[in-house]
Amino acid sequence: MGSKRVTLAQVAELAGVSVMTASYTYNQPNRVSDQARSKVLAAAAQLGYAGPDPSARSLRRGSTRTLGVVLGEHLSYAFDDPQAVSFLAGIADVCAGHGYGVTIVPITGAADDVTRVRDAAVDGFIVWTTADDDPIIAAVRATKRPAVVHGGPAVRGMGLVTIDNRAAAYAVGLVVFAGAQRPAVVSCPLSRERISTITPGVAPSSALFAVTRHRLEGYRQAAEELGIAWHDVVVAVCARNDVTEAEHITATLLASDEPPDAIAAMSDEQAAGVVRAAHAAGRVIPDDMTVSGWDDAAVAQRLGLTTVAQSLRDQGAACAQAALGGKPDSYADAWSVVRRTTTRG
């Protein structure tokens, strides 16, 4: 039993064959005679050879058989977000099917994130929804490896997998805002700073996350079509995608002079918080107030939420497929509005 690292050369020597025969034994077994193969395997067993070194192999082959996933500033956030997890599951599925591993690139929001992307031993990158000005985008691009962005921003030379958030927001906006006097939006962050704010008529263009921006645009279009001026629509921005924060901010909204009577939320988690706050404030849904969510997660079904259905899992799979060199199908139309009991009609 070799105490140090055993190499293929040592195995070959003990087996009395050339290094190449030993290599073939691991990579193209049929190309080797049974006799040679068993000699090699026996020698390997005797020496405790752990198999071809993956790094050496990657260097020689020019491929790591691994895809990198960049989950955004804070890893912790991502794992707390069930949608991000579904997305990851879709990636993992496809990668497993191709014999590829998935590496989570350790982003923390610190200055060395760029280095971490650069140093990741992967064949391609998948970037989870981020802001237009995220330096990660440039870092990924600098690696010159295939890359696919989910959600946005759209980047030249990189793939993009996303639904048409504007169209979806418009569609669900027409449902949730119908008949409302004072609609409001509970929004995802506008920028990586993730500041919570309550402001009427937020300019969609001020949102640096493409997904947020497009959804705000869609909601605005819906509101205006229903005869409501956008500057009268309060946008409550939550720092995190979290039931509790949405609940608090909704409570604040409902306690104001002109409380909203319709709230479009950007996730089902948030919508769940909205519903909770509404109940606490004695509002009856949908009579006193309507609510919509986003994603059609399990909680949406449980609460009877009207929401936008999309499959992050499928989108994750599509990203992986594209990063592996496949054709990126368009996901623009892969959404639908699910009407349940938190809206009228």
Query: Which positions touch a copy of itself (CB under 8 A)?
Result: 48, 50-59, 62, 64-66, 68, 75-76, 79-80, 85-86, 88-89, 92-93, 95-97, 99-108, 112, 116, 118-122, 142-145
Residue 97 interacting partner from DNA, a copy of itself, none (CB closer than 5 to 8 Å by kind) = a copy of itself
24 binds DNA (CB under 7 A): yes
Q: Residue 185 in contact with residue 264, Cβ under 8 Å?
A: yes
The binder of DNA chosen from 14, 26, 163, 209 (CB under 7 A) = 26
Residue 170's binding partner, choosing from DNA, a copy of itself, none, with beta-carbon cut-off 5 to 8 A by kind?
none
Contact 165, 216 (CB under 8 A): no
Structure tokens at 166: 């504007």
57 binds DNA (CB under 7 A): yes
Nearer to DNA, 60 or 279 (CB): 60
Q: Mention every residue, 6+ apart, whose C-beta is less than 8 A from residue 88.
A: 69, 71, 102, 316
CB 236 within 8 A of CB 264: no
β-bridge partners, 186 = 236, 265
Helix (H) or strand (E) holding 318, with range, is: helix 312-323
Contacting DNA (CB under 7 A), which of 14, 32, 127, 148? 32
Partner whose binding site includes residue 8, from DNA, a copy of itself, none (CB under 5 to 8 Å by kind): DNA
CB of 125 or CB of 335, closer to DNA: 125
Nearer to DNA, 4 or 156 (CB): 4
Contact 265, 291 (CB under 8 A): yes
Can you tell me the distance from the alpha carbon of 17 to that of 20, in angstroms, rounded to the nearest whole number?
A: 8
Residue with tokens 């599951």: 89
Q: Does 8 bind DNA (CB under 7 A)?
A: yes
Given the complex with DNA, which of 35 and 205 has the nearer CB atom? 35
Q: Which does 154 bind (CB under 5 to 8 A by kind): DNA, a copy of itself, none?
A: none
- In the complex, the smallest distance separating the C-beta of residue 134 from DNA, rounded to whole angstroms, is 25
CB neighbours (10 Å) of residue 102?
18
> x/- string (CB under 7 A) for DNA, residues 115-134?
--------------------
To DNA, the closest distance from the beta carbon of 113 in angstroms equals 18
Q: DSSP E strands: which ranges in the chain?
A: 66-70, 101-105, 124-127, 147-150, 159-161, 183-187, 197-200, 234-237, 262-265, 290-292, 307-309, 336-338
Identify which of 132, 78, 77, 125 has the alpha carbon closest to the alpha carbon of residue 100: 125
Q: Which does 339 bind (CB under 5 to 8 A by kind): a copy of itself, DNA, none?
A: none
Does the protein bind DNA through residue 237 (CB under 7 A)?
A: no
Residue 103 touches which member of DNA, a copy of itself, none, C-beta under 5-8 Å by kind: a copy of itself
121 binds, among a copy of itself, DNA, none (CB under 5 to 8 A by kind): a copy of itself
The length of the chain is: 345
Stretch that binds DNA, among 28-36, 125-133, 199-207, 297-305 (CB under 7 A): 28-36
Please, what sign has the CA dihedral across residues 279, 285, 288, 290?
positive
Name which position in 2, 42, 45, 61 contacts DNA (CB under 7 A). 61
